[in-house]
Structure 1
Amino acid sequence: MKNVKTVIIQDASKESKTIHESLINLCVSNFKYLRALELRDSPLRALPNSIGTLKHLRDLDLAKCEGIHELPRSFYKLRSLQSLNLGGTGLKQLPDSVQRLIEIRHLEITVKAKRLKEIRAGCWTSLQYLKLHSCSELECLPDGMQYLKSLRTLVLVGCARLIFLPRSLKFLSKLENLKITSCRRINLKMEPEEKEDDLQLSLKTFSLFRLDTLRDLPRLLLQGSSSTLQQIEITWCQQLSVLPAWLLNLTSLQEHRIGGCKNLSALPEGIGRLTNLRQLTTVGCPVEQKIQTK
């Protein structure tokens, strides 16, 4: 039993809280070679400090553990951790110990803070996937986003008070996927400034869903990815009335899907002539058409 590599604990009712804590302590004490621990939707209120002894742990799933408001002091010792899901937890702030996880590649976060702590240089250098989920008080992304040099996917969901994206995203040359959902106050306007016209970014997919105040698209990021961007999807952004003419500069665009944008009445003239565009679809808009090219 001491060589157990994976533990998954499911369907834990709140009535079993004491049994659940005992079981976690048993796993931590006896399974020193544990690599994956899934405690999703657990009634736990705290992780044991002894969790820092799991030197081989690579995957820790605490999704929907609403009773967990802080992480143990020993958390930074999980130096082999590559995937950490803190989505749906009750964390008030992301502790410094998480930034010290040097191997982390996949990170999902829910916090109740207005601001996240600054990302320091040298932290999260291997991070490839970052999701901020239901951070209902969050007003801005953390300072230091430019240090996430390996980031490939950024997902923002249900961050109702998030107002803007930082211009530091322009330094994320490996970012391929940007998805923003139900961030109802966000303003994405981001025009290139002097010396920013020749950015070489790598976005491949760009997805927006239920952004109630959206009126503009982030030109800096999209036009900077003109040679790589293949897919744009915009759904239920009901204040969006115009698509910018500079979309015609996105020469690698293959799919452009628009749905439920009730104030969008026209597409940029000539968009159907983009040489790589295979599908242009609008549904639930004043302009409803489906253009197949190629």
Structure 2
Amino acid sequence: MRKLRTLDLSECILLAKIPESIHTLGSLKFLYLKGCDLLSRIPHLGGSTVSLPYFVVRAGDDDESSSNLVLLQSTDPVELQISELENVKSPGEADRIKLVEKHSLKDLKLEWTRGVERFVYDKMLLKNLVPPSTLKKLEICGYNGVSFPAWLVGQLPNLVSLVLRDMANVEEWNTSYSSDEEHVIQILEIHGCPMLRMKRSLLKAKSWVISHSDNVLSSLDECTVSHASVSSSTSPITIVLSVKYCKGPHRWRLLQHFTGLSSLSIHNCGDLTGSPEITHHLSSLEALCLEDEHMEELPKWLGELASLQSLEIRWSNGVTELNETMRQLTMLQSLNLSYCHNLSLPHWLGELTSLKELVVCSNDVLRSLPESIQQLTDLQKIKISNCPKLEHVVNESLEGMMKRTHNQETVCVMPASLKELTIHICHGIKSLPEGIHQLTNLKNLEIDECYYLYQWCKLEESKKLAHIQNKSFVW
């Protein structure tokens, strides 16, 4: 294939390696690798070959005055990821590729390798890598400058997603130069920027993700914030907030800038039990996810979230019980308790009267679901996974087992509204509750890696389980 000019391997999803000999194809001009997610590395290509959308900057020989970045001058891709920008030898190379004129470009990622020497200061280079106004997605990784050039956000009116990642030295971000004060982006993510402080006006985004960036949180009080509304609308701008691995002082004061949140995730941010100020700004919260391997008890303010519809508690091995205050969560529709190995379920679970979905995953102490679950007349889905001590799906007390219908049949202790039941890797359970055939709404039953229950289901499949449309029994 010595005359080959274009090689398109896009969407070759199983492609893991390209032979190094590809650099011998002297006529090859373009190599397309979009969707080749398993490709571990891009081999060194010939001097005039352009790899898209993944372009690796090569510095070339010491006597060369420029890198291969200039090869992008003749391209106009929709998506472009430029890595190893530390190999660019002069700011003029960025000018020559005329990134700002590539109006087809919608998705751009700029990446420096951390901890290696540069030919050009990062800020000088980034200043000349001005994207076109058509850009919708931008990600910057490994940038080593102290501040950002003015074009970031200010000259990108169509931007919907911005990700800043692994920037150990960035100290400030002044977004007051934005030319469009009404511009609201969909997603803003800040990861691994421990020195970064927001300055003056705060960028408007519907969804914020902040991780390993303590100063971002503490600097919000220094910003002019207008997150309550935009233009004449009275709807909140930011409705989704995720905070991960941020343990700086006064970190929850940021919530005063995000009134109207509908979704909040807090991951490994230290003790939450002594933070009652959290609830002052969460009157509209509908979804909450808490995750902390060192958390020993759930915060009492959980019961004050009157609008909460979805609650997820994950990776909290120190938590042994749900708070009594949670009995007040009568609007709760989904409860997910995953990887909380020592958490017991309360007898009052049935008081969560709006509950439609219950998920319990990787629990080392659970022996059964409480009998009060029968009171959950809206419950449609139960999923139980990896609960080695589970002996019964639902705890059937002597009183419960003696309940009979007018036909002298045992009443099923599970709610009649149930539509889906999934049980994975629960070796101790030997049968489903008596009266399971009465659950006429049950349409989906999945049993996986439960040896004794698998045997029972196969035996009763044509009798007690005949009414279930979709059944999957795997051992």
Q: Does TM, normalized by the shorter one, top 0.5?
A: yes
Supply the AA of the counterpart residue of 1:293: H
Structure 1, residues 178-225: CA drift from partner, whole Å, max 9, x if none?
11111112112x114xxx98x4611111111111222242555x344x
Structure number with bigger Rg: 2
Report the Cα offset of residue 171 of structure 1: 1.4
Q: Answer whether contact 2:197 2:215 (CA < 8 A) is retained.
A: no
Residue 347 of structure 2: aligned partner: 191
Cα distance change of structure 1 residues 167 and 129 upon mapping to structure 2, 3 Å threshold: same
Q: Answer whether contact 2:417 2:441 (CA < 8 A) is retained.
A: yes
Cα distance change of structure 1 residues 260 and 92 upon mapping to structure 2, 3 Å threshold: farther
Residue 71 of structure 1: aligned partner: 217
Which of 191, 206, 211 is equivalent to 1:58?
206
Q: Answer whether contact 1:91 1:110 (CA < 8 A) is retained.
A: no
Report the Cα offset of residue 227 of structure 1: 1.4
Residue 12 of structure 1: aligned partner: 141
Which of 290, 302, 306 is equivalent to 1:149?
306
Which of 361, 370, 378 is equivalent to 1:209?
361
Worse overlay, 136-145 or 31-40: 31-40
TM-score (normalizing by structure 1): 0.79
Supply the AA of the counterpart residue of 1:269: E
Structure number with the bigger relative contact order (C-alpha 8 A, sep ≥ 6) is 1
| Distance in 1 separating the partners of 2:198 and 2:445 | 53
Residue 447 of structure 2: aligned partner: 282
Q: Answer whether contact 1:211 1:237 (CA < 8 A) is retained.
A: yes
Supply the AA of the counterpart residue of 1:176: Q
Residue 293 of structure 1: aligned partner: 467
Cα distance change of structure 1 residues 160 and 69 upon mapping to structure 2, 3 Å threshold: farther
Matches within 5 A, 1:44-123: 44-50=193-199, 53-54=201-202, 56-62=204-210, 65-68=211-214, 71-75=217-221, 77=225, 78-79=227-228, 80=236, 81-86=238-243, 88-91=244-247, 95-100=251-256, 101-116=258-273, 117-118=275-276, 122-123=280-281
Report the Cα offset of residue 121 of structure 1: 6.0
SS of the residue aligned with 2:413? helix
Q: Answer whether contact 1:261 1:284 (CA < 8 A) is retained.
A: yes
| Distance in 1 separating the partners of 2:365 and 2:382 | 18
Cα distance change of structure 1 residues 242 and 8 upon mapping to structure 2, 3 Å threshold: same
| Distance in 2 separating the partners of 1:184 and 1:141 | 14
Residue 251 of structure 1: aligned partner: 416
Which of 267, 270, 279 is equivalent to 2:432?
267
Worse overlay, 74-83 or 161-170: 74-83
Report the Cα offset of residue 50 of structure 1: 2.1
Report the Cα offset of residue 111 of structure 1: 2.8
Q: Answer whether contact 2:174 2:198 (CA < 8 A) is retained.
A: no
Q: Does 1:30 align with 2:159?
A: no
Supply the AA of the counterpart residue of 2:322: L
Q: Answer whether contact 1:33 1:57 (CA < 8 A) is retained.
A: no
Q: Answer whether contact 1:129 1:151 (CA < 8 A) is retained.
A: yes
Residue 327 of structure 2: aligned partner: 170
SS of the residue aligned with 1:261? coil
SS of the residue aligned with 1:30? coil
| Distance in 2 separating the partners of 1:228 and 1:107 | 25
Give the unaligned 5+ runs of structure 2: 1-129, 153-163, 165-171, 229-235, 401-411, 469-475
Residue 126 of structure 1: aligned partner: 284
Q: Give the total of aligned pairs.
A: 277
SS of the residue aligned with 1:165? coil
Q: Answer whether contact 1:9 1:40 (CA < 8 A) is retained.
A: no
Cα distance change of structure 1 residues 92 and 186 upon mapping to structure 2, 3 Å threshold: farther
Q: Answer whether contact 1:209 1:236 (CA < 8 A) is retained.
A: yes
Cα distance change of structure 1 residues 120 and 83 upon mapping to structure 2, 3 Å threshold: closer
Worse overlay, 263-272 or 246-255: 246-255
| Distance in 1 separating the partners of 2:147 and 2:209 | 15
Report the Cα offset of residue 260 of structure 1: 0.3
Q: Percent identity?
A: 21
| Distance in 2 separating the partners of 1:93 and 1:214 | 37
Structure 1, residues 127-160: CA drift from partner, whole Å, max 9, x if none?
1111113x11111221122221111111112122
| Distance in 2 separating the partners of 1:142 and 1:54 | 30
SS of the residue aligned with 1:272? helix
Report the Cα offset of residue 172 of structure 1: 1.5
What RMSD in Å do the two structures reach over aligned CA positions? 3.3
Supply the AA of the counterpart residue of 2:177: N
Residue 241 of structure 1: aligned partner: 391
Cα distance change of structure 1 residues 272 and 27 upon mapping to structure 2, 3 Å threshold: farther
| Distance in 2 separating the partners of 1:89 and 1:39 | 17
Report the Cα offset of residue 67 of structure 1: 4.4
Q: Answer whether contact 2:220 2:254 (CA < 8 A) is retained.
A: no
Q: Answer whether contact 2:245 2:269 (CA < 8 A) is retained.
A: no
| Distance in 2 separating the partners of 1:107 and 1:95 | 14
Report the Cα offset of residue 249 of structure 1: 4.4
Structure 1, residues 20-48: CA drift from partner, whole Å, max 9, x if none?
76667556232343423745463311442
| Distance in 2 separating the partners of 1:209 and 1:186 | 11
| Distance in 1 separating the partners of 2:293 and 2:440 | 41
| Distance in 1 separating the partners of 2:329 and 2:320 | 20
Cα distance change of structure 1 residues 46 and 121 upon mapping to structure 2, 3 Å threshold: same
Supply the AA of the counterpart residue of 1:287: L
Q: Answer whether contact 1:202 1:228 (CA < 8 A) is retained.
A: yes
SS of the residue aligned with 1:293? coil
